[in-house]
Structures are given as C-alpha cells and as structure tokens.
A and B are shown apart, each in its own frame.
Chain A
C-alpha cells in the first residue's frame, strides 16, 4: 500500500505534461520592447528596423577613405586584405563559364543588407562605432561606386529599401531543404 501512492503520482505527472512547457521553469524575465532597442540591430529587406538618419555618396567618401579603405582598397575594387573581398565591380561575371567576382554591385540582392552589415560588423577594428548618418552615407558611397545610385541621392530609411540591386532576381530556393 505504501508504494502505490508515489507510483500513481508519477503516472499522473507524465499524463498531464504533454508539452515541455508544462514542466519548464518559466525563468525568462519579461522585458519591454523599448528596452530591447539597443540590441535590436536587425534590418529587414523591406527596411524594417532602419533608424532615422540620412547620407549621400558624396558625404560617404570621406568616411570610406578614413575607415574602410585600409582593408577594402581605393574605391572598393581591390581589397588589401583578401578576406575583405571586393565591394565594387564584377558586373557580368556571374554569366556561365566565367569566374564570378561577387561584389555588392554584382551579387548582393538587397541594399538593406549593406546597412545591416556595416552597422553590425564594420569597421573591423571598431565595430558598431559609426553613427546612423555615417552608415547611410558610406552605404550610399558603395552603391554609387557600383553605379547603382547617383552621387547626391539621399539614402535613408525610406529610400534604401527602394534601391533596386542588379542581382535582385539572381537567387532561387534550394530544392532539397527539409520540409
């Protein structure tokens, strides 16, 4: 008789816990969305998450020369650090049987990715140090070097997602992903 009761308790615990949640300790602390803002640096291809600010290629050139050129090379064409990769050029090199040169201009499908990546990961030695205006401006400069926008075009939260990248339609889904 003494052993039956604990067994019965165990069985009932199993049967009332179909989801892990029922037994999970629920130790996440609620946080207000506004308090997440300093961490939320994701930018969607539709521009979701882009901050206020603006910049042009003309303004971005000085920032590029000061903070990007040491690795990426003059005008982004010949990187001085191999892993930095070329930012400019390569248009037409995706064609069959050519050696592809995959740059922002020749390969990247979304201009928003440029803002997202520069803000989160550049300049390499001092990431997350650029202001929103500086990121917009240097993004505009790289887009301009690739012939995608004009030197005085204003790039901001509204215009950046509207930039049509040359290889926007260059991607297709992998046919063998798990369902």
Chain B
C-alpha cells in the first residue's frame, strides 16, 4: 500500500471519502489525511527471526497452506442435516484475485460427495442421437481440450437478502456460494457431433452419478455453444466436491445446471421437468406465477473487503475490494459508493476481464472515522446494470428465493465495525 502525506494529492471522486481510481491505474496517488489517522509510531528494532537460523522442513507431495492460515476455510452448517447435504461456502472475505482455490470452492450437494473410481466411471450420450455412445475417462482424455476461466454461482446464493430484516451475517454466509476456476475439458458439442444429433432434439438431460442422481434439463443451444465437459480444475483433476471425475460446465448459467459427477446426457424434444427445475430453482413472483428455467446469472457484485468481521482499525486509507460478475457477458464497469448510493465513483477493474468470469474491482477510500454505507454496482457489456434492492423487489418481490442479485450494503459504524444492512 502506498502512503504519502501530501494533502494536495487528495483526489476525491465521490462522497464520504471515495477517491479516484487513478491510484490503481497510475500507481501514484494518495491521501492527505493519512498521517493524522494512522498511529504510525517508530517501528521496533529488527531482530533476526529463529526460522532464519536453522533449515526449514522438507518437501511435501501435495502442498498445504501455512498453518497460520488455518482459519481460511469453507463454512457449513452443523448437523442435524445429513453430512454432505446442503452447501459449504467460500470464505470470500479472506481471498483475493479472481480465482478460488480448489479446496475453498463452494460446494452444493444433494446426497453427499460420491467416491468415484475414474476407471469405472462412464459417460453415456443417448436419446435423440443417431449413435448412442459410451465414453471412458481415458477416452475423453484423448480429445482436444479447451480451458476457460469461469465462475459458478449457486442459484440460491445471497438468498438471505430476501429476508425482511437484514441478518447479522458475513460475506461468506450471504454470498459464499460463488467460486471461480480455470476449467479444462472437452467441448460438449464435439461429442454431440460424434453421436449425431437427431433434428427433433431440443434439450439435453444431464445427470450426475451421485446417490441423488441429480438431474437438469439443458437447452441444446447451450450444449452446442460453450458447454464444457471438465476433467481439470485449476490445473489438476476436478475435486470430488466439485464433480470428480467429470463435471459439466455451462458458463454463466446457474450452478445447479453445471451437473457434477456427470454420467449421462440424454437428448430429448422437451425438458424432463425434474425436481430441481420445478419445485426448486424456480422463482415465485409477486403474483402466483413463478419463472421457470431461469438460466443466466445476471449482473452482480459484492464488496469482500471491508466486510463483516473485518473491522476497520483507524481512520485513514483503505482499499475497498470486491468481485463483479455476469453470466451474460463481461463486466464493463463497477461503481462504488460510501454514502449508501447517494454518490458513486467508478472502481478500477483488475484484468483480465473475461466473459462469464468474475472481475476484481478496487477503490481507494479515505475513511474519516464516521458512519458509512459501502455499496458496489456492476454493469455488464450487455448494458445491464445491477438493480437496487427496491428495483429488484419492484420486479419480483422477495418470495423468489433464487437469483438474488441486487446491490448489497455494508454499514461501517464509528468503531469501524462492519455489518450487513439494507440501504
């Protein structure tokens, strides 16, 4: 972090201390009042640490994080729910950049994580195809592969914000059903071409090899567009909790459709109307109707730092950092407010900016020690702007459960404590 003490360089861009993003774009800037706010007394004399005096530990077959990072873990509810049913959440407030470490990628499973022997795993493609085909993992590994960085977000992420009163939850508990990996695998269109699609086929029913045989109907257009059968996640084989040994990736579509432990693809003329596309993952509107087949994750953002549990210590310079993403394309702009949305300034966007991948945004902020409400508002390259909570409610109310994407708010109080609020 750059700190200088030239008052003339203070560069306000919006109310309540939001500064220009030039600090990130040009690497120059700073902040006038910093020195007054930080109790930067002289540092203590430097001593040579003990770990510089003896050799360290040896090699490890598979590296682990430092034991000092043991609090950076996924969170999940204790029993009474059966083990592996429900979800574990990514600790977004403890992570940086755009990639989620594989071991911290959220998981949602309906009947636990199956332990699948890859040599015995099979993928079958059948239904409205000219040649029903079976693939082994070994065979799939020989196809031309493709990598792409993409987010997966559970359709139920952020559903806590439908509650009438803001709950005392942190960013993981509210927004932690979001992860991003570099996924590598075989294009689904390649295999569908090999099987030969019958002209009346319109849908692909995807099914997992877990005990629940989780199943979703996917439009054939998506299957032929950018669907990927993933063997690798962040360079290594897909983690069991994320679908080992084979996971369907539908970039930008709600997480539930990205079927894990993929074993079967059946081409049909119509959707199967499975449990998870009728009773779940449909959005009950203000009247008695419900939206069905809500595929894309619409434009959304969240500030991960500061956030609840990460209190501010002293007035002065802080970086506001967060993630923005859209299942419809690339993020074009993120605006940040420190006064509850009365004034906004554009944040710096950390490249690479990729379609259907999260973007890290950063804003320089001079906290004056008074109350503040931090918000972020994303816009994607289709022109869609993240709605306010009021706009969101005006369209669909708060009974929909799924696909909550309205602007979220963190309140900072005079003590520097951060809490979830509606503003």
Residues of A in contact with B (beta carbons under 8 Å apart):
19-21, 23-33, 36, 39-46, 81-83, 94-96, 99-100, 102, 104, 107-110, 112-113, 116-117, 120-121, 124, 127-128, 170-179
Report the separation of the CA atoms of residues A73 and B395 in the bound assembly, to the nearest whole angstrom. 36
Query: Residue on B with the closest CB to A24?
Result: B190
Contact between chains at B111 and A39 (CB < 8 Å): no
Contact between chains at B273 and A121 (CB < 8 Å): no
Contact between chains at A177 and B131 (CB < 8 Å): no
Contact between chains at B284 and A102 (CB < 8 Å): yes
Chain A residues lying within 8 Å of B292, measured Cβ to Cβ, are 171-174
Which 10 pairs across A and B sit closest by C-beta, in order of nearness?
Answer: A28-B133, A27-B139, A171-B292, A120-B213, A121-B212, A117-B275, A174-B294, A21-B193, A174-B291, A94-B288
Contact between chains at A172 and B289 (CB < 8 Å): yes
Contact between chains at B289 and A28 (CB < 8 Å): no
Report the separation of the CA atoms of residues A109 and B288 in the bound assembly, to the nearest whole angstrom. 13
Q: Which of B142, B187, B212 has the most CB of A within 10 A?
A: B212
- Asked if B313 is an interface residue, CB under 8 A from chain A, the answer is no
Contact between chains at B273 and A100 (CB < 8 Å): no
Contact partner, A42, options B85, B193, B221, B272, Cβ 8 Å:
B272
Contact partner, B295, options A24, A25, A127, A174, Cβ 8 Å:
A174
Report the separation of the CA atoms of residues A174 and B110 in the bound assembly, to the nearest whole angstrom. 25
Report the separation of the CA atoms of residues A159 and B397 in the bound assembly, to the nearest whole angstrom. 37
Report the separation of the CA atoms of residues A83 and B84 in the bound assembly, to the nearest whole angstrom. 12
Report the separation of the CA atoms of residues A95 and B289 in the bound assembly, to the nearest whole angstrom. 9
Chain A residues lying within 8 Å of B296, measured Cβ to Cβ, are 176-178
Report the separation of the CA atoms of residues A21 and B111 in the bound assembly, to the nearest whole angstrom. 36
Query: Residue on B with the closest CB to A27?
Result: B139
Chain B residues lying within 8 Å of A42, measured Cβ to Cβ, are 205, 207, 215, 266, 268, 272
Report the separation of the CA atoms of residues A44 and B81 in the bound assembly, to the nearest whole angstrom. 30
Contact between chains at A127 and B275 (CB < 8 Å): no
A-B contact list, 24 entries, CB within 8 Å: A25-B143, A28-B131, A29-B135, A30-B131, A40-B264, A41-B207, A42-B215, A44-B270, A44-B272, A45-B270, A102-B284, A107-B279, A107-B290, A108-B278, A109-B278, A113-B275, A116-B215, A116-B275, A121-B110, A121-B111, A121-B211, A127-B111, A127-B213, A171-B290
- Asked if B242 is an interface residue, CB under 8 A from chain A, the answer is no
Contact between chains at A36 and B211 (CB < 8 Å): no
What 0/1 readout, one digit per residue, does chain B (79-94) give for beta carbons within 8 Å of chain A? 0111001100000000
Q: How many residues of B contact A (CB 8 A)?
A: 66
- Asked if B195 is an interface residue, CB under 8 A from chain A, the answer is yes
User: A174 to nearest B CB, angstroms?
Assistant: 4
- Asked if B274 is an interface residue, CB under 8 A from chain A, the answer is yes
Contact between chains at B213 and A20 (CB < 8 Å): no
- Asked if B144 is an interface residue, CB under 8 A from chain A, the answer is yes
Report the separation of the CA atoms of residues A29 and B290 in the bound assembly, to the nearest whole angstrom. 42
Contact partner, B195, options A28, A45, A113, Cβ 8 Å:
A28
Contact between chains at A116 and B274 (CB < 8 Å): yes
Chain A residues lying within 8 Å of B76, measured Cβ to Cβ, are none
Known contacts A23-B144, A24-B143, A27-B143; A33/B293 CB under 8 A = no
Chain A residues lying within 8 Å of B295, measured Cβ to Cβ, are 174, 177-178
Contact between chains at B213 and A178 (CB < 8 Å): no
Contact between chains at B293 and A39 (CB < 8 Å): no
Contact partner, A43, options B190, B272, B278, Cβ 8 Å:
B272
Chain B residues lying within 8 Å of A121, measured Cβ to Cβ, are 110-111, 211-214, 275
- Asked if B189 is an interface residue, CB under 8 A from chain A, the answer is yes
Query: Residue on B with the closest CB to A36?
Result: B126
Chain B residues lying within 8 Å of A23, measured Cβ to Cβ, are 144
Contact partner, A100, options B144, B222, B399, Cβ 8 Å:
B399
Chain A residues lying within 8 Å of B279, measured Cβ to Cβ, are 102, 104, 107-108, 113
Report the separation of the CA atoms of residues A20 and B144 in the bound assembly, to the nearest whole angstrom. 9
User: A13 to nearest B CB, angstroms?
Assistant: 13
- Interface positions, chain B 211-247, Cβ under 8 Å from A, are 211-215, 221-222
Contact between chains at A19 and B284 (CB < 8 Å): no
User: B420 to nearest A CB, angstroms?
Assistant: 22
Report the separation of the CA atoms of residues A24 and B134 in the bound assembly, to the nearest whole angstrom. 15
- Asked if B117 is an interface residue, CB under 8 A from chain A, the answer is no
User: B113 to nearest A CB, angstroms?
Assistant: 15
Contact between chains at A127 and B289 (CB < 8 Å): no
Chain B residues lying within 8 Å of A21, measured Cβ to Cβ, are 190, 193-194
